[in-house]
Structure 1
């Protein structure tokens, strides 16, 4: 079994080998960087200047994004307490001085009140315009509805006529075979009656023949 001293000696050897490998890799990377710098005509000053410019650009971008976020997060004040001068934007949780107030228009700031009035007037105007357009649309649709109703009535009348014609043709078609059957029966009866009368006519003819000879 290995002792503690032996294990520590092995660890030192491994650490030294690791340091040699790292130094070789670092030297290879440095040589590669040097070749690239010579190829493109760059110096350490150029690299430092470009790295500094990149760092400054990142910092400026972060500041702009933070400023935009803060500007978006802050809303302009809409209500003001005349006693204390405290303001509220109208969003999020209302403060105590306006929390239980039903009519908050008396706390509106002048600009917000004007915007609210303009918005209400615009809303009234838009509702009136919508009502007028709805009336016009209804007036336009009324003749179209009447025309469609007339067409529907005419279609129903045509379908009724067609149905009655079909029924009449069916009845006539049913009557014709019956009439044909009765006509056939009559012709058969006539033939039978003539066949029965034929022997009597022959006997009468025979009787009449000797009398005519005498």
Structure 2
């Protein structure tokens, strides 16, 4: 009868994978500890480390019009799809 340890029944590389996982876990723990120490040392706040937490976007902000149709009074900001009254024409004629 063959007296094999339980490790020989595992697929090759399994021990290495376990070592890598343990090293990563230890490395992450060390990184967290160093980060906590730096935060305490410099009295950093969450916004110091991660910013304000909001990303500003231009979506929904009002932009003043750049162009006006003299015949109807309609305006256009110059953003997005051009309205029919300005398409294919020299825009200089419509500048406010």
TM-score, structure 1 normalization: 0.25
| Greater relative contact order, per chain length (Cα 8 Å cut-off, separation 6+) | 2
For the pair shown, the structure with the greater C-alpha radius of gyration is 1
Higher helix share: 1
TM-score by length of 2: 0.48
